[in-house]
Structure 1
Amino acid sequence: MGKNNQGHRANTAKARNVRIAPQKARPVIDLVRNKPILEALDILQFTQKKAAPIIAKVIESALHNVEHSDELDWDVDELIVAQAYVDEGPTLRRFKPRAMGRATRINKRTSHITVVLEPR
């Protein structure tokens, strides 16, 4: 593994296996990428999408990780959302009965949401 990929970094937060489709979460995360952290949380507070409170929680978690880190001494007011992305998680496959004894597969998609904070 590379130097930057060793373990969990203090300026990162991840939410794995979140029950929202990545296709629905990606437009919301695009709103906050490269924004100051307080502005990003304000944007999410007034965004009427199911993904908004989930992404806000991940950003707050990353913020708390920075605040409580022994190795990082960053000013909270200077932080921006440097990286934010949504990856596809495992798909839950369900079946719905249809006419004439058939069944249709329903894919319930999940997401992995990652947020990385860095100073401006």
Structure 2
Amino acid sequence: MNHQYSATSKYIRLSPHKVRRVLSQIRGKSYSEALMILTFMPYKPCLTIKKILQSAAHNATNNNQKNRKQLIINEAFANSGPKLKRFQPRAQGRAFKIQKPTCHITLRLMFQNKSI
């Protein structure tokens, strides 16, 4: 029986589209390989995703007392959250609508089977 250990961060002020671009790079990778990728990628969501990944790894090792080197990223996805709606004043009394997106990031880890 494979247990999944997850960590979720909600209402993050990042665009879900930009977060998904980073998550697709680490999906299916091992924990240490994903940490290395996130450390050296130049994108803004990398720091937030790295913190969530470390939190999920702590959840897995605390609950199961196993080594983090055996963890792999089983699922990684970002759902869109509510948009913050703001207005920018424009000429002649008009207003320009600005929508600031938020997202919910979820990472699920599981221990790799050594019998493969």
TM-score (norm 1): 0.87
Aligned CA-pair RMSD:
1.3
C-alpha distance after superposition, 1:31-56 (max 9, x if no partner): 10000000000000000000001100
> Where does structure 1 differ by over 2 angstroms across 4 or more consecutive aligned residues?
72-75
> Number of aligned pairs?
110
Q: Does 1:49 align with 2:40?
A: no
Structure 1 equivalent of residue 53 of structure 2: 59
1:112 and 2:98 are equivalent in the alignment: no
Please tell me whether the aligned partners of residues 4 and 109 of structure 2 are also in contact (alpha carbons under 8 angstroms).
no
Q: Which runs of 5+ in 1 are unaligned?
A: 1-8
Deviation, structure 1 residue 75: 3.0
2:62 and 2:89 map into 1 onto residues whose CA distance is: 50
Aligned to 2:79, the other structure's residue is in SS state: strand
1:6: which partner in 2?
A: none
SS at match of 1:43: helix
| Greater shift in the superposed pair: 107-116 or 60-69 | 60-69
In the alignment, does 2:69 pair up with 1:77? Answer: yes
Task: Compute the TM-score of the two structures, normalised by the length of structure 2.
Answer: 0.90
> Identity of counterpart residues, as a percentage?
38
The letter of the residue matching 2:71 is: L
How many angstroms does 1:74 deviate by?
A: 3.6
Report if the CA contact (8 A) 1:10-1:65 is conserved: no
Q: Give the whole-Å Cα distance in 1 for the aligned partners of 2:81 and 2:32.
A: 28
